[in-house]
A and B are shown apart, each in its own frame.
Chain A
Amino acid sequence: MALEIREASVIYPAQSGRAPVEALSKIDLTVEEHDFVVALGASGCGKSTLLNLIAGFLSPSSGKIMLDEAEVSGPGADRSVVFQKHALLPWLNVRENVAFGLKLRGEGATAYAVADRFIALLGLKGFEKSPVYALSGGMQQRVGIARALTCDPKILLMDEPLGALDALTRERAQELILDIWKSTGKTVFLITHSVEEALFMGTRLIVMSPRPGRIAHRFDLPFSRRFLNGTPARQVKASPEFIELREEVLRIIFADEEQAA
């Protein structure tokens, strides 16, 4: 067992005449080792709040988050985060950015050797000395993923990592992340608002609903395994089973939206 969330709620206190906001209501979620859990939902459903809880940037108003039997009480290197954007450090080059986490932890001696391994893994070889602001969005995101992997986290948290990419780059990045997931054997928790991305990448899907933020539906997904077993990505996404589930999930989300509104 890797990560366990027990009845976690987040309530933002009342502000100047407004009622308190329940951003997350009694979330129960268990993420097993090597799981790829995807959280899907419209804006305001609390999926980012949930990720911030797991990362430790936010503590729950009630409930518990346990990682390998230990309670999470703040950010730590056992949980790395890949952000949507703005998280790289433009005053450092690619290599220094990837090695940043290790250097912070005082592992300066081996930092660059480890960094180079992940630079190679993410296909960034030859760009070690490039300034990150000169890279394309897709390459910047690969730097972010490499950086998150260097510290060998128990779980990789991805906060809409592909949201800022163009459609074509995005498809390639999805495949890359799945390959990385397979080769490193990491546990992944990923947030997205793209239904197709969620179905394609996850082994498990949680669909979240707003006001109050909660997990409304759960699905087990077979599609990423099919891709990793050799079926081309587009063929996976074009299969009748995939399309049927995609439409069902979309129907659920729209229905939830109407109910909440």
Chain B
Amino acid sequence: MSDQSAISQNDRKPRGSVFPAFARSRPTRPGETYGVPGQGNTTWLSVATIVALIFIWWAITAAGLVKPLFVPSPQSIVQKFIDVWFNGYTGAPLWQHILISTARVFGAFLLACVIGIPLGLAMGMSPIMRGIFDPPIEIYRPVPPLAYLPLMIIWFGIGETSKVLLIFLSVFAPIALGARAGVRSAAIEQIHAAYSFGATRWQVMHHIILPSAMPEILTAMRIGIGFGWTTLVAAEMVAATKGIGYMVLSASQFLQTSTVIMGIFVIAAIAYAFDMLMRFLERRLVPWKGKM
């Protein structure tokens, strides 16, 4: 971290170009390093980008260039958030919408972990399991969830089952395939070492294969829950009366653009917070990732 910030400080010295990676190569001066193109800290640039985007947004709406129906002002989004938080949307307060959507996504996510991780590991370790489960997963995986949503409704009705199942299906494939790929992470030397201590096949799986698959399983979980949020809105298209996805869809039918945008930001915020949590878990659970 300290190395990176040192480099980025050098990059920001006012000589040459704003984009040193694209500039013509020039001799280094004392204290400068030739490194991998693209390294350096981006926090400030990212914050500046966000501030600039909000400012442009605000400037356009404040100048009256676009009608609020199409692009409401940033203030009105904040106002809408406060309004829905205290007064609710279609009879339910915002936290209930958030709670039910989160419950759907996390319910589906947990189910996908509980089934997908063991199944993926089994697929990685047994050609029989791989032979059986590879074709169905690979066939349904690339199909967009919206395509089989009608089928879910015909089979499971318009209740919670079809919603959670739809999200589950989109989360399940990446998690199972990630766990399956993780099985290959163990080095043959690690496996041989365990066998030479007299380990059984089961002990090798438990003490070598499973822990070395952990980094890839955690990555797969991060990717998986991302798919879950993507599918949420599709799942709440049908006969939902609560949920952030429902709120966004129904608000769009009444041209309440500020509610739509507010809902999108709420989903983004929850998804981002969970991604941060997963990254934190990754650092705590697999600190060795990429180091050996």
Q: Please indicate whether A and B come from the same complex rather than being unrelated chains.
A: yes
Q: Which residues of A contact B (CB under 8 A)?
A: 55-57, 74-77, 79-81, 83-91, 100-101, 104-105, 131-133, 147, 151
Is B196 touching A81 in the complex (CB atoms < 8 A)?
Answer: yes
* Complex-state Cα separation, A175 to B37, whole angstroms: 43
Closest to B206 in A: A104
Residues of the B chain whose Cβ atoms lie less than 8 Å from the Cβ of A81: 192-193, 196
* Complex-state Cα separation, A104 to B214, whole angstroms: 20
When each residue 188-231 of chain B gets 1 if its CB lies under 8 Å from chain A and 0 otherwise, what string results? 01101111111100010001100110100000000000000000
Using A90-B288, A90-B292 as known contacts, say yes or no to A77 and B192 having CB atoms under 8 A apart. no
Is B291 touching A90 in the complex (CB atoms < 8 A)?
Answer: yes
Using A85-B189, A104-B207, A133-B292 as known contacts, say yes or no to A77 and B196 having CB atoms under 8 A apart. yes
Is B193 touching A87 in the complex (CB atoms < 8 A)?
Answer: yes
Is B292 touching A86 in the complex (CB atoms < 8 A)?
Answer: yes
Closest to B203 in A: A104
* Complex-state Cα separation, A104 to B206, whole angstroms: 11
Closest to B285 in A: A91
For chains A and B in complex, what number of residue pairs have CB atoms within 8 angstroms? 71
Using A87-B187, A87-B189, A131-B287 as known contacts, say yes or no to A104 and B211 having CB atoms under 8 A apart. no
Residues of the A chain whose Cβ atoms lie less than 8 Å from the Cβ of B189: 83-87
Residues of the B chain whose Cβ atoms lie less than 8 Å from the Cβ of A79: 196
Say whether B286 faces chain A, with CB atoms less than 8 Å apart.
yes
Is A132 touching B292 in the complex (CB atoms < 8 A)?
Answer: yes
CB distance from A160 to the nearest CB of B (A): 11
Q: Which residues of B contact A (CB under 8 A)?
A: 187, 189-190, 192-199, 203, 207-208, 211-212, 214, 286-288, 291-292
Residues of the A chain whose Cβ atoms lie less than 8 Å from the Cβ of B214: 91
* Complex-state Cα separation, A79 to B195, whole angstroms: 10
Q: Which of B190, B198, B287, B288 sits near A86, CB closer than 8 Å?
A: B190
CB distance from B87 to the nearest CB of A (A): 51
Is B287 touching A80 in the complex (CB atoms < 8 A)?
Answer: no
Pairs across A and B, CB under 8 Å, 16 listed: A56-B196, A57-B196, A74-B195, A76-B196, A83-B193, A87-B192, A89-B190, A89-B207, A89-B211, A90-B291, A90-B292, A91-B212, A100-B193, A105-B198, A133-B292, A147-B193
Residues of the A chain whose Cβ atoms lie less than 8 Å from the Cβ of B195: 57, 74-75
CB distance from B251 to the nearest CB of A (A): 48
Residues of the A chain whose Cβ atoms lie less than 8 Å from the Cβ of B208: 89
Residues of the B chain whose Cβ atoms lie less than 8 Å from the Cβ of A84: 189
* Complex-state Cα separation, A55 to B189, whole angstroms: 12
Residues of the B chain whose Cβ atoms lie less than 8 Å from the Cβ of A89: 190, 207-208, 211
Is B292 touching A101 in the complex (CB atoms < 8 A)?
Answer: no
Is A131 touching B288 in the complex (CB atoms < 8 A)?
Answer: yes
Q: Which of B197, B286, B291 sits near A77, CB closer than 8 Å?
A: B197
Is A105 touching B197 in the complex (CB atoms < 8 A)?
Answer: yes
* Complex-state Cα separation, A75 to B196, whole angstroms: 5
CB distance from A75 to the nearest CB of B (A): 4
Is A75 touching B288 in the complex (CB atoms < 8 A)?
Answer: no
Residues of the B chain whose Cβ atoms lie less than 8 Å from the Cβ of A147: 193
Is A87 touching B287 in the complex (CB atoms < 8 A)?
Answer: no
Q: Which of B197, B203, B288 sits near A151, CB closer than 8 Å?
A: B197
Closest to A83 in B: B189
* Complex-state Cα separation, A85 to B199, whole angstroms: 20
* Complex-state Cα separation, A234 to B189, whole angstroms: 32
CB distance from B265 to the nearest CB of A (A): 38
* Complex-state Cα separation, A84 to B212, whole angstroms: 19
Is B190 touching A104 in the complex (CB atoms < 8 A)?
Answer: no
* Complex-state Cα separation, A88 to B190, whole angstroms: 7
* Complex-state Cα separation, A118 to B136, whole angstroms: 51
Using A89-B211, A91-B211, A104-B203 as known contacts, say yes or no to A55 and B196 having CB atoms under 8 A apart. yes
Closest to B200 in A: A104
Residues of the B chain whose Cβ atoms lie less than 8 Å from the Cβ of A133: 288, 291-292
Closest to B199 in A: A104
Q: Which of A85, A88, A101, A131 sits near B197, CB closer than 8 Å?
A: A101
Is B292 touching A104 in the complex (CB atoms < 8 A)?
Answer: no
Given A81-B193, A90-B288, 5 further pairs, Cβ under 8 A: A57-B196, A83-B193, A86-B190, A101-B197, A104-B199
* Complex-state Cα separation, A110 to B135, whole angstroms: 48
* Complex-state Cα separation, A81 to B292, whole angstroms: 19
Residues of the B chain whose Cβ atoms lie less than 8 Å from the Cβ of A74: 195
Closest to A86 in B: B187
Closest to B210 in A: A91
Is A75 touching B187 in the complex (CB atoms < 8 A)?
Answer: no
* Complex-state Cα separation, A105 to B207, whole angstroms: 13
Closest to A102 in B: B197
Closest to B287 in A: A131
CB distance from B184 to the nearest CB of A (A): 14
CB distance from B283 to the nearest CB of A (A): 13
CB distance from A65 to the nearest CB of B (A): 14
8 smallest A-B Cβ distances: which pairs? A90-B288, A101-B197, A87-B189, A86-B187, A133-B291, A75-B195, A83-B189, A77-B198
